[in-house]
Amino acid sequence: MKRTKYSFVLFYLIIFVQVFSSYGQELNVNSKSEISDAVIQKAVSILPHERQYEWQKNEFTGFIHFGVNTFTGREWGTGFEDPKIFHPTNLDTDQWCKAIKSAEMKLIILT
């Protein structure tokens, strides 16, 4: 009997929270008639900060994931791979640089 009573109380509490939690959320929608020329002008005149602009110039960054897993053919390593397999003999880093330069990347992160 006690367990059933607590189950009902818990059930109604969950329903109460679900129903009344939506009342705290306002829907802020402007109709087309509410948008004035001043709002539109303000929106189109916003410019990024100088630091944001500098970051955006370097936005296209390349990631080169190169390690033991490159030679095991797996995405994640186990930590027990033989270090001898990390011995690149035909590695063409000039090809990497050509591809990076032709893509106009500004930064490269080697992991």
Indicate the domain borders of the chain: 49-111
Q: Is the entire prediction scored with pTM above 0.85?
A: no
- Tens digit of each residue's pLDDT (9 = 90 or more) over 1-17: 667 777 888 888 888 77
Tokens coding 23: 């009342």
Residues 67, 81: Cα–Cα separation, whole Å: 11
Residues 68, 81: Cα–Cα separation, whole Å: 8
Q: Which among 99, 98, 103, 67 is positioned nearest to 85, based on CA atoms? A: 67
Count CB-CB contacts under 10 A for residue 92: 9
SS3 state at 28: coil
Beta strands in 4-67 (DSSP E): 61-64
- Tens digit of each residue's pLDDT (9 = 90 or more) over 6-60: 788 888 888 877 777 766 666 666 666 666 777 888 888 888 899 988 888 777 8
